[in-house]
Amino acid sequence: MKIGGWTAVAFAVAACPAFAQTPDIPRTTDGRPDFQGVWESLWLTPLERAADIPGDIPAGDVERVMKMFTTREANRATSQLDTEGEIAIAAKIMSVGGVYRGSQVIDPPDGRIPRTDLGKARQAPLPQTDGPEVFPRGVRCITGINTGPMRTTNFDMLHLVVQTPDSVVLYSESISDVRILPIRAPLPANWPRTFTGSSAAHWDGDVLVVETTHFDGGKAAGGGPTPTPLGDKGSLVERIYFNGPDELVIHYTVSDPDHYTQPWTAEVAWVRTSQPLYPTACHEANYSLANMLLGARIEEAQATASSPPQ
């Protein structure tokens, strides 16, 4: 089917070759791809790839790599708020168009994010007990993984997509995070800056292109196991499209010369599911955060009491 001229079709084929082979996608009444429904991304595939993991995993090697992913997640759980139960929920390797992936990052080819010194510094864990402001945004229940660039973790990974002619809305279980992608012109230069940036989306044939800019560099801090800070010069371009009627691909490129030595690209696949989606209460008014700070003060008092006089 020819949509929007040969230029749009050629771009869609070049950027998303799998889509061109799957014309049997659901459509809205105005003819756009219909992304609506509940989707899951319960993958153990990490954002970045370890040196001993292949980029594209042969089918015969999936079981071995799966064991490596599970072992590493279990080891990581000893020092973070993860559990073996969460690992069991996400006991899968991400597949995009039938190809198993060793990382979500696909460019650079080594599957690693090319961070600058500033990017590395902002990736480093911040002090966790001085006060509520130093905790990552996820711990403070401010933003979940739905905030672009979208990625996957091993829990709370169901998503609801609602669509109108004017916008596409993404709701994720993680912190009940809602992201609205308005169909509109690129943002003017004087648009306000925020730490999550602002998005402008448009259709390029059957591909939804989302450009997010106007990030606040003063608040560009990463958080969690896969931090991706973006500053004043940062931009995020996402291309969302179908790989058949039951697989939704989010292909994105991050550019920010302050935090990354070159642009880098990743892909995340969502698959359609009939699982029920529930709201996440996070810390239930952040009582847990108050208890974390109280515990830190108690540890400090105990350390002071046990220290010999100077």
- Tell me: the pLDDT tens digits for 228-277? 888 899 999 999 999 999 999 999 999 999 999 999 999 999 999 998 88
pLDDT band for 81, please (50, 70, 90 cuts).
very low
> Higher pLDDT residue, 279 or 82?
279
- Six token digits for residue 285: 């008014």
Average pLDDT, the chain: 82
CA distance linking residue 65 with residue 103, whole number of Å: 11
- Read off the pLDDT of residues 47-65 as tens digits, 9 standing for 90 and up: 899 898 999 999 999 999 9
Give per-residue pLDDT as tens, 20-42: 445 789 999 999 999 999 999 88
Which amino acid is present at 301?
A: A
Structure tokens at 161: 């997509």
- Sorted by sequence, the CB contacts under 8 Å of residue 142 that are 6+ apart come out as 175
A 10 A CB-CB count for 310 gives 3
Peptide bond into 108 cis (omega under 30): yes
Q: E strands, 118-255, where? A: 158-164, 167-172, 177-182, 198-204, 207-213, 235-242, 247-255
Residue boundaries of the structural domains of the chain: 19-277
pLDDT exceeding 70 applies to what percent of the chain? 79
- Residue 112, classified by CB atoms within 10 Å of its CB into exposed (0-12), middle (13-18) or buried (19+), is middle
In angstroms, rounded to a whole number, what is the distance separating the alpha carbons of residues 249 and 150?
Answer: 11
pLDDT of residue 284: 67
Nearest CA to 248 out of 208, 275, 277, 210 is that of 208
DSSP-assigned letter for residue 119:
H
- Closest among 284, 14, 279, 8 to 158, alpha carbons compared: 279
Cβ-proximal residues to 278 (8 Å cutoff; 6+ apart), any chain: 173
Helix (H) or strand (E) holding 293: helix 287-306
Residue 14 has what pLDDT?
43
Residue 126: which pLDDT band, with cuts at 50, 70 and 90? low
CA-based nearest residue to 16, from 209, 271, 262, 211:
209
- 245, burial (CB in 10 Å: exposed 0-12, middle 13-18, buried 19+): middle
Task: Find the helix or strand (DSSP H, E) in which 66 lies.
Answer: helix 62-77
Q: For residue 104, give the amino acid letter.
A: Q
User: What is d(CA 213, CA 240) in angstroms, rounded to the nearest whole number?
Assistant: 17
* 3-class secondary-structure state, position 101: strand
Q: What digits encode the pLDDT tens for the residues 182-212?
A: 999 999 999 999 888 999 999 999 999 999 9
Predicted TM-score (pTM) of this structure: 0.81
Least confident of 50-54, 87-91, 301-305: 87-91
